[in-house]
Structure 1
């Protein structure tokens, strides 16, 4: 916070509380404890990263710290009570969660991005606010300081957590993610919440084998059956996107051997990379497809596609970015300049010319293909980060809602698992029309058309994989929708952008080799910004808003590197440990006379 001003934390208000055994919490009940509010939504991969970062803090400070998740939905489906309950179980959220579908608490704390973290001291005052991921070290430092300060003041109250575990249900599969078919007609399914890959017979019920388990896989998603020539060369049958372990693993079906083929087990922070596959960190790989002579990875955590070239000896395998700058959004064109937004489903076309992409955060169907100009991305359905719905028709009208799976049928049509609409959609590349073929599904996350005209559908929230026959005619979809976040009113002309960043105690911005910060700004539509777009060092910039363009979205990405300052005079020593802080914002803006002429965002404000 600024200028030593102490701000009293607003009350926590929403529809209901989860993980409390039916007890409603308020700030009075939490007084005397350090509280961290985690504003999250379950579609957001960065929010899932933060859940993982918070777990060690929850354990270390169990008697003094209370983490409260404030679920603030982006998509319409995420506001449904049953969907929130499923997400809390799916992602193993083991702290109290306030269900805030109308964004009441979100607005009270002026949150602007998923995820946002707010720290409240034992006396009920806000002492820190930060956006994005990578804050675990700084949070731990701040919590220790608050515990020491309020222990000395006598205002710290220690005790048991208000968390009460919900009853668990036993099912054969738990939140399955992806499915693939083997040459003998059997199937492999990622049993995500059980942390396993399951080999099923052709009936999709009888189990042949299970691979992995907790401690081996961690929420696996994509499963890829390798082509015969690759199996002969590499000596294994499957690749698995081991999502939370940030790696690509292989499975040899003959003896069940599981081996890492790419990734270090650490989450990628730099959002770029290439080189030896076993030395390169990855970030939430979500799906896989075989294209040309290598595996394409949907790198959801960095909004990119990567390519993995596999060698018989994993030490000789390599990875490289195939598409995406790491900016989150929808921009077509040459692959290394294009934008994606949490790509989560991949499928190679039957003619091998392209890979279809379910680009979940833009609710889009996209593709990548090799042209005379190199690799290029094209959008077939979808408009942007804040546009979604359930509408059939041509691209100008068609809408989906956070699709996670895609596949090409024998007739050349593209089937999409339209996850948050609970539907299977059919896109005809020849006409450019989107239609609806199956509805009333429970969060379908993948699908696989079979030669007999049926389609295997993974209904993740129903914990099953089922075979469906597509109807002869399509049904009609529903309505358009948009993200319910309030737009920020800004004045035409100059808008001063300031990103606040205060390094944690014991760290400082490392300027030994130049400015350690970077700010990248763009807009949708592009013409909204007359000046100020682009990438440059620094945390402040003057933007020039064009009043003739109307409403739009400012896309802001920031990065700051702070290093441990352990020298005798508080300087950064030569080989100090450094920490990268970064966040992407999509800020809807409305250009009006009398609007704000200054936009402040907190990367880490204390």
Structure 2
């Protein structure tokens, strides 16, 4: 093992510990174990990918490795204690979690992005830091190495870890995700945390049947045999089957309400990575965290939250294809192939528009046909870092991480404003946003119910209250609810940078046993932009080098003094084994939104760690 400078890991500080039976943990009492810190926040799909990546590693080294989640919130709602507890259960986190709402531990470890993974050896020293996803293979190899080394030296302490599971609660649904009204008048609900679909009676309460065995898996068949993994959105297909976004399986499934059979329409069960096919036969192309689906313009549209895109599936040709988005995260309108999304999580179709709840930009957007192509437009929302609860004209209105959208009979759009716990309404005719109802705990979807219990109508709506584990029936009000106006911006400490030229350096060291994969061209990619755009005078755009000199706009420091640098980096590596004819290849990628403040005393170098020990980038001290 190559020796690097030894950096003592800072102690863990936060508000409370979860999954420890009420006990506070310290690095001192974890001495003798390999410790992996996972800095995450529950709104972030990349963080959810990492949770899934780490499950196998966690199980394989349960007696020598302790994973500690450090929850570091982006949105105001994510700082609520109850919300963090819910998220830990919702996403099946089976290790201790430190609730760190003030970002105390985040700052101690100089973390700049969600997710970030930090490896600490059994003697309490930081040995590696990785930002983004796709590092599970490298971390697994490092853990094996540390276990072997410290086992031989006598500094490894094996045994049971500190994880204490919470007591299970008996409810019919557990963090349901989405709902769909079937032609029969019953409702199909994705019971996300229990990995099932549940059919409810027309009252939205009585359970008629369950589809899936309640355990993670990707298995087709009859209701008792079928397996899902955190399913979310559903949509009716023309043949009467229900398409299901099987999110953590990275698959598109189909459920037949008549026969009860579940089949797989698209996806391989593996997560899509840069370089994979972007179109082709459904069973041959990987997907990435499909979150919702909707039938629009003769195709099934898929909110591909994991890669910030919209895809389509054509049942007639059994093919999937990218329809909108570039995989860059942000809010950019325009031709569909040039638009940017940020974790699209809700879809609903009207005759002429596909409405999109773009959660990470707290935005309501739509797709419409323009000649032979599609175009993306924004109704409400400004970008990745501004959110709140504000009604009024669309250009001033604010949401907070909405997950669902529903077209109402009058042509307006209901928005499940998830982190505001409110059902909101956008009227395309007037351009106004109003609030329909409040105190709906983490609502994630809504579906038109019935007018008077028998025929479809528009005066009642069923809301999926995910954090209350139920569907709630509401009568749509004739007047809006008045709420106190609240506006927020993501609160992270700004990095002070000097006016003029700033050296942007993304630090990437291929993990041990790997090398950069340049067999088919450049192995790295860097994309840079800014909010506001005028913050940068030069250096924006895409390139292949991970180091770039950017120049702040003339007058920065006098005029534009604050903003956000958006940096997206990708590196491809493969196993460096000359004896292996078919080496395994790995993709490492991360998006950063770095708040910056221009000051005369600021740094002229901004370093971001994609993979490596964060010593060269203002690392832990």
Structure 2 residue 274 is the aligned partner of structure 1 residue 263: no
How much does 1:393 deviate?
Answer: 1.2
How much does 1:527 deviate?
Answer: 2.2
Deviation readout 1:115-141 (Å, 9 max, x if unpaired):
000111111111111111111100011
Q: CA distance change for structure 1 residues 448 and 580 in 2, over 3 Å: closer, same or farther?
A: same
2:560 & 2:339 partners in 1: Cα distance?
A: 23
What secondary structure is seen at the aligned counterpart in 1 of 2:158? coil
2:575 & 2:608 partners in 1: Cα distance?
A: 24
Q: Is the 8 A contact 1:391 1:476 kept in 2?
A: no
Structure 2 residue 179 is the aligned partner of structure 1 residue 173: no
| One of 215, 220, 231 as aligned partner of 1:220 | 231
Match of 1:80 in 2: 80
Match of 1:533 in 2: 540
Matches of residues 502-517 of structure 1 in structure 2 within 5 Å? Answer: 502-517=509-524
Match of 1:288 in 2: 293
Task: Select between 41-50 and 395-404 the one with higher mean Cα deviation.
Answer: 395-404
Match of 1:447 in 2: 446
**TM-score (norm. length: structure 2):** 0.93
Q: CA distance change for structure 1 residues 426 and 512 in 2, over 3 Å: closer, same or farther?
A: closer
Match of 2:224 in 1: none
1:421 & 1:205 partners in 2: Cα distance?
A: 24
Matches of residues 318-333 of structure 1 in structure 2 within 5 Å? Answer: 318-333=319-334
Matches of residues 134-283 of structure 1 in structure 2 within 5 Å? Answer: 134-213=134-213, 214=215, 215=217, 216-226=227-237, 230-231=238-239, 236-270=240-274, 273-283=278-288
Q: Is the 8 A contact 1:303 1:339 kept in 2?
A: yes
How much does 1:212 deviate?
Answer: 2.1
How much does 1:530 deviate?
Answer: 1.4
Task: Select between 271-280 and 189-198 the one with higher mean Cα deviation.
Answer: 271-280
Matches of residues 403-482 of structure 1 in structure 2 within 5 Å? Answer: 403-450=402-449, 451-477=457-483, 478-482=485-489
What secondary structure is seen at the aligned counterpart in 2 of 1:85? helix
Task: Select between 511-520 and 398-407 the one with higher mean Cα deviation.
Answer: 511-520
Match of 1:109 in 2: 109
- Number of aligned residue pairs: 588
What secondary structure is seen at the aligned counterpart in 2 of 1:27? coil
Deviation readout 1:321-380 (Å, 9 max, x if unpaired):
11111111111111111110000000001xx11101100001111101111473111111
Deviation readout 1:535-592 (Å, 9 max, x if unpaired):
1112111111111433221111111111111116xxxx65322111111111121222
What secondary structure is seen at the aligned counterpart in 1 of 2:232? coil
How much does 1:207 deviate?
Answer: 2.5
What secondary structure is seen at the aligned counterpart in 2 of 1:575? coil
Structure 1 stretches of 5 or more lacking a match?
none
Q: Is the 8 A contact 1:187 1:201 kept in 2?
A: yes
Deviation readout 1:461-513 (Å, 9 max, x if unpaired):
00001211122211223310111111111112111111111112211112344
How much does 1:382 deviate?
Answer: 0.8
Match of 1:519 in 2: 526
Deviation readout 1:386-433 (Å, 9 max, x if unpaired):
111111112332111110010111111110000000000011111211
2:137 & 2:83 partners in 1: Cα distance?
A: 31
Match of 2:18 in 1: 18
Match of 1:580 in 2: 587
Q: Is the 8 A contact 1:272 1:321 kept in 2?
A: no
How much does 1:83 deviate?
Answer: 0.6
2:603 & 2:5 partners in 1: Cα distance?
A: 22
Match of 1:401 in 2: 400
How much does 1:67 deviate?
Answer: 0.3
What secondary structure is seen at the aligned counterpart in 2 of 1:344? strand
1:200 & 1:598 partners in 2: Cα distance?
A: 57
1:377 & 1:89 partners in 2: Cα distance?
A: 35
2:372 & 2:385 partners in 1: Cα distance?
A: 30
How much does 1:4 deviate?
Answer: 3.3
- Spell out structure 1 runs of 4+ moving beyond 6 A: none
Structure 2 residue 603 is the aligned partner of structure 1 residue 602: no
1:32 & 1:594 partners in 2: Cα distance?
A: 42
**TM-score (norm. length: structure 1):** 0.95
1:95 & 1:404 partners in 2: Cα distance?
A: 26
Match of 1:63 in 2: 63
Task: Select between 499-508 and 370-379 the one with higher mean Cα deviation.
Answer: 370-379
| RMSD after superposition | 1.5
1:448 & 1:549 partners in 2: Cα distance?
A: 44
What secondary structure is seen at the aligned counterpart in 2 of 1:425? strand
